[in-house]
Amino acid sequence: MVVLATTPAALDQISLLRSSPEPLFFPGVPAVDLSSPGAALAVVDACQRFGFFKVVNHGVPMGVVDRLEAEAVRFFASPQVEKDASGPANPLGYGNKRIGRNGDMGWLEYLLLAVNHQGSVSKASPVPSSSLREVVNEYVGAVRGVATWVLEAVAEGLLGVARRDALSGMVADAGSDQVFRVNHYPPCPLLERLPDSCSVTGFGEHTDPQLVSVLRSNGTPGLQVALRDGRWLPVPPDRDAFFVIVGDSLEVTKHPSPSIAYIHLLYQKVLTNGRMKSVRHRVVANSLKPRVSMIYFAGPAPEQRIAPLPELLGQGHGEQGPLYRDFTWGDYKKAAYRSRLGDDRLDPFRI
Ligand X SMILES: O=C(O)CCC(=O)C(=O)O
Residues binding ligand X (CB under 6 A) = 181, 183, 203, 208, 215, 217, 223, 281, 283, 293, 295
Question: Residue 168: CA atoms inside 13 Å, Cβ hemisphere, count?
Answer: 19
**Which residue of the chain is nearest ligand X when measured via CB?**
293
Alpha carbons 13 and 97: distance in angstroms, whole number: 9
Please report how close the Cβ of residue 296 comes to Fe ion at its closest, in angstroms.
Answer: 11
In the complex, the smallest distance separating the C-beta of residue 114 from ligand X, rounded to whole angstroms, is: 15
d(CA 147, CA 156): 14
Interface with Fe ion, residue 208, by CB under 5 A: yes
Partners of 182 in beta bridges? 111, 294
243 or 327: CB nearest ligand X: 243
Q: Least distance from C-beta 139 to ligand X, angstroms?
A: 15
* Binder of residue 205, out of Fe ion, ligand X, none (CB less than 5 to 8 A by kind): none
181 binds, among Fe ion, ligand X, none (CB under 5 to 8 A by kind): ligand X
Binding track, positions 63-82, relative to Fe ion; x by CB under 5 A: --------------------
Establish if 156 lies at the interface with Fe ion (CB under 5 A): no
Piece in contact with Fe ion (CB under 5 A), picked from 21-29, 35-43, 200-208, 297-305: 200-208
CB 77, min distance to ligand X, A: 18
Q: Which of 140, 139, 164 is nearest to 152 (CA)?
A: 164
DSSP state string for 182-214: EEEE---GGGGGS-TTEEEEEEEEE---SSEEE
Q: Which residue in the shown chain puts its C-beta closest to Fe ion?
A: 208
* Range in contact with Fe ion (rule: CB under 5 A) among 23-31, 55-63, 107-115, 201-209: 201-209
The C-alpha atoms of residue 139 and residue 63 are separated, in whole angstroms, by: 10
217 binds, among ligand X, Fe ion, none (CB under 5 to 8 A by kind): ligand X
The item of ligand X, Fe ion, none sharing an interface with residue 215, based on CB under 5 to 8 Å by kind, is ligand X
The site partner of 223 among ligand X, Fe ion, none (C-beta below 5 to 8 Å per kind) is ligand X
Q: Which does 272 bind (CB under 5 to 8 A by kind): ligand X, Fe ion, none?
A: none
From CA 91, how far away is CA 181, in angstroms rounded? 11
If the CB atoms of residues 206 and 275 are measured against Fe ion, the closer one turns out to be: 206
In the complex, what is the shortest distance from the CB of residue 191 to Fe ion, in angstroms, rounded to a whole number? 22
Residues contacting residue 201 through CB under 8 Å, at least 6 positions apart: 14, 15, 16, 17, 105, 106, 107, 282, 283, 284, 285
Q: What value does the CA radius of gyration of the chain take, rounded to a whole number of Å?
A: 19
User: CA–CA separation, 163 vs 330, rounded Å?
Assistant: 24
Residues 78-107 that bind Fe ion (CB under 5 A): none
What is the Cα–Cα distance from 336 to 330, expressed in whole angstroms? 10
List of E strands, the chain:
16-18, 31-33, 52-56, 93-99, 104-115, 178-185, 198-206, 212-217, 223-226, 232-234, 242-246, 281-284, 291-298, 305-306, 327-328
Nearer to ligand X by Cβ, of 177 and 208: the residue is 208
Closer Cβ to ligand X, 221 or 302, answer by number: 221
3-class secondary structure, 40: helix
Query: Minimum CB separation from ligand X for residue 281, in Å?
Result: 5
Q: Shortest gap between Cβ of 43 and ligand X (angstroms)?
A: 20
Residue 283 binding result from Fe ion, ligand X, none, given CB thresholds of 5 to 8 Å by partner type:
ligand X
- Smallest separation, CB 326 to Fe ion (Å): 25
Taking Cα atoms as reference points, which of 61, 35, 64, 31 lies closest to residue 46?
A: 31
Residue 153: Cβ-neighbour burial (10 angstroms; 0-12, 13-18, 19+): buried
Residue 203 Cβ vs ligand X, minimum distance, rounded to whole Å: 5
The binding site for Fe ion (CB under 5 A) comprises: 208
